[in-house]
Chain A
Amino acid sequence: MSTTATPATGKQTILSVESINTYYGDSHILKDLDLRVDRGETVALLGRNGGGKTTTLKSIVGWVPPRSGRVMFEGTNIAGREMMRNARAGVSLVPEERRIFTNLTVAENLKLAQITAARPGWSLDEVYAHFPRLQERSANKGDEISGGEKQMLAIARALVQDTKLLLLDEPTEGLAPLIVREVEAIIREIKSKGMTILLVEQNFYSALSVADRCYVIDQGQIRYEGTPDELRGNTDVLSRYLHV
């Protein structure tokens, strides 16, 4: 259906974060953090609240620029570049709070994303085919839709753009279990179309069910890297950093 999807070919790195240090005011949040995402891969970044997961995503897109280190995206250092430029280069962050424009309708939210995109991604028809609920609610304002619909809209906003790297921050947070399954299914589907995804999750089980590889972050540093199966078997890491 989609023309933008290209299957993953070999191991080609699309994003490589190289020893970044990020601060909020005086607080040193990320400490020499490294991570890598290959094209077509879905990588989960796991860890407790306050460990630096969201800050990592914000550092990548330029929301909270790192004070040192490099963020290499498709071979270019994008650390400290404006959010707008990174977005137009194809790095799309779907933030934790969804940040739907509540004063705009669902259709306007999508239209805005189309207007601001450097190159088009999915067509509106494709979006509505995948998210029939959004079509039903297209005339509703952003504050008149449910949490699950907001999450779908937030993801759809990224898809109508030519997104090359999708950063999802806690996509299942605060959703009812049934809706969580729905969102997981959507992530799997996007993934199957070849999208590269960096996923931040507190919901360990949800994340492991979609990820190819995962990192565990704690106190601003990567503590563990492995496949979901390896992580499931590592009780030390699980209880130490994830408390499961």
Chain B
Amino acid sequence: MKDWQFYALTALGLVLLPFVIHPIGGYPALATQILLLGIGAIGFNLLLGYAGLLSYGQAMFYGVGAYVALLTVSRFFPQVHSIWLGILLAVVFVGVMALLIGMLTVRLYGIYFALLTLAFAQMFFFIVFQWRSLTRGDDGLQGITAPPLTFGPWSLDLTQRLPDLNLGIFGNLHDVTYWYPFSAVVVLGVLAFVRTLTRSQYGEILAAIRENEERSTFVGFDSKSYRIAAFTIAGVLTGLSGALKGLFDTSIAVDSLDVETSGSFVIYAVVGGVKTLFGPLLGTAIIQYLQNVISGNQHFGEAWRLIEGVIFVAVIAFWPKGLLGSIPQPSEFAYQPRFRPSDSLPEAKPMTEGIILETKGLSKFFGAFGANSDIDFKVRAGELRAVIGPNGAGKTTFFNVLSGLRSASAGTIYFKGRDITRMPGPQRVASGIAKAFQTASIYPDESVFENVRLAALARVQGMFAPEFLRRSGRLQQVDDIAHDALEQLDLSNVATTRAGSLSHGDKKRLDIAVALATQPELLLLDEPVAGMSIDEIHKTDRLIRALAKRMTVLIIEHDMDLVMGISDSITVLHQGKVLAEGTPAEIRANRLVQEAYLGGHVADAVPSSAPPAAPHTEANP
């Protein structure tokens, strides 16, 4: 949808809403109520739909927003005859609150996150309930007249009615107060903001983190910051919803902070459709409308909550994407990357001289089990080093500790002379360590180009870039890095393919391309050819050799032909310890290695004097 279409259609819908519900038993105040609660649902959707976080504590932002707004206009600053101050203070207060709570909660997932947000909401409920001198506890705040809407000298009482104009079955314009147009303008603004946000660079990265957090972390995004931002924005929108609703109702009850309110935002968003722009608003409208019609009915009124529950269960069971989400969306795969000669490519970082990576006494324990114990390890810049060893020797653990996926139990890691033992993963990526995973870790629902572009974006934008409004544009530099990475791995011809539908071998090479797009100085490859066909192995062999000319490469691999053929030197791990280290020829001749790893058969299989059997073209270094 083009921008002007979006604005025109949304505005039209908002203008019509209070009148189209008239013939079916609605009334203008209900329309206002739908819009104001809908803002909170839209905020919640940002969390559940786009960040993948199920919060059961949105009531705290809603309730606190309402209390702050009402207290501002009635107690703190009654002399200010403008509605703006109440709204502003509410939003700022809730924003700070959401930021702090977000920092404490977003590192948890699933049930833990839901319960922790619920716990915070209960705490705020308690505070509001107990702080009687300010909040009047159980009685809540009542009869607080909202100050007028002001623009400079001009001011408007929102409870005033629009002019008399009979619209037949659609009611009378006079039934509508100015609250409705005001709410509609706010909602239009909120929708435009959320639409921009989800299409922004920030929104794109947030979605990527939701799709594959591990990969996002290891292209260098600080996923926690992205989630905190989403939590805060969602909190602010919910706070705004509460502030406006409180001012509209001229009252707020302490119950508005309870879990039922949190649950209602969940219901609105899920029924309408999470991950859609209008879904939460639609869900709010449907539920609010039905509630209004049904709970007023003398026969079924009592059963309203039951009916709501049945609707909710039915939607989750039969339309898990919600009513709006179940409508097929046009595919967003239309983008055709521009292929340009990569002359504008940013200069590769100069290679570090001397020792690029060193570990001293590095150990990793899982309980009492030492997966890595006391590993001393040195890699020269520009070297292609293989790490081999039997299954369970601790190779992957070693890589995980180097990349920061797991923390070391003891010992030190130096990268370019700097101690990085305690450095978090994304920061290590930023400083030049990238990793390709044993099982390709990619964004299956994005195009191949998009996969690599996200990594290049992390390279250019850093760990966290609060680009909330900038359209996820095509930064030329980012595109160039991405194209270059695809070309390096010979994937340009599949750039527009959905990554999830690639062949196994292509997925693995895409994973390497993603790592490469972070422009690393040290590239960790964990079994890059595992499961590849012979042809793919030969191709990947060539590609790795080419990469090794530009950067330091550490490779874990079981394919002995590949390892013996391409490595400058080899480290053998056995039972978590370094068993041997040397050139391929030395390792092949090493009796300890033959015993422990190659099962004693290697001497029969590959005579140590003969070149490897595979048709490698280059001689051993």
Residues of A within 8 A of B (CB): 25-27, 49-50, 147, 173-177, 180, 203-206, 218-219, 239-240, 243-244
Contacts and interface: CB of A to CB of B under 8 A. Distances in A.
A21 B223 CA distance: 40
A177 B531 contact: no
A147 B501 CA distance: 36
Interface stretch (B22-30, B294-302, B476-484, B598-606): B598-606
A38 to B, nearest CB: 28
Interface in B593-615: 595-596, 599-601, 604-606, 613-614
Interface string B497-522: 00011011000000000000000000
A243 B503 contact: no
Given A50-B504, A177-B595, A243 B614 contact: yes
Contact of A205 (B390, B500, B503, B601): B601
Contact of A203 (B531, B560, B599): B599
Contacts of A243: 559-561, 613-614
A27 B531 CA distance: 12
A22 to B, nearest CB: 14
Contacts of B531: 49-50
A240 B392 CA distance: 28
B390 A177 contact: no
What 3 A-B pairs come out closest when comparing CB atoms? A50-B531, A174-B391, A205-B601
Interface residues of B, number: 26
A240 B390 CA distance: 23
A177 B600 contact: yes
Interface in B530-553: 530-534
A147 B573 CA distance: 17
B199 interface: no
Given A50-B530, A175-B390, 9 more contacts: A27-B504, A147-B392, A177-B596, A177-B599, A177-B600, A206-B599, A219-B533, A239-B613, A243-B559
A244 B534 CA distance: 14
Given A49-B530, A173-B391, A243-B613, A27 B601 contact: no
B558 interface: yes
Contact of A26 (B392, B500, B534): B500
6 contacts: A49-B558, A50-B504, A50-B530, A174-B391, A206-B599, A240-B534
- Mostly, the A contact residues are loop
A50 B540 CA distance: 15
Contacts of B533: 50, 218-219
Contacts of B504: 27, 50
Contacts of A147: 392
A183 to B, nearest CB: 12
In this complex, which of A27, A243, A244 has the most chain B Cβ atoms within 10 angstroms of its Cβ?
A243
B505 to A, nearest CB: 9
B599 A180 contact: yes
Interface in B356-375: none
Contacts of B614: 243
B257 to A, nearest CB: 42
Contacts of A49: 530-531, 558-559
In this complex, which of A177, A206, A218 has the most chain B Cβ atoms within 10 angstroms of its Cβ?
A177
Contacts of A205: 599, 601, 604-605
A58 to B, nearest CB: 15
Contacts of A240: 534
Contacts of A180: 599
B605 A244 contact: yes
A199 to B, nearest CB: 16
Nearest to B604: A205
A202 to B, nearest CB: 8
B371 to A, nearest CB: 13
B501 A26 contact: yes
A239 B599 CA distance: 19
Contacts of B596: 176-177
A173 B389 CA distance: 12
Nearest to B507: A27
A26 B498 CA distance: 12
A180 B560 CA distance: 20
B503 A27 contact: yes
B390 A174 contact: yes
A49 B503 CA distance: 16
Nearest to A97: B391
Contacts of A244: 605-606, 613
Contacts of A177: 595-596, 599-600
Contacts of B606: 244
Given A49-B531, A219-B533, A239-B613, A174 B600 contact: no
B392 A174 contact: yes
Contacts of B613: 239, 243-244
Nearest to A96: B391
A150 to B, nearest CB: 11
B599 A50 contact: no
A180 B606 CA distance: 20
Nearest to B500: A26
A203 to B, nearest CB: 6
A50 B501 contact: no
Contacts of B392: 147, 174
A204 B601 CA distance: 10
Nearest to A26: B501
Interface in B462-505: 500-501, 503-504
Nearest to A172: B599
Contacts of A50: 504, 530-533
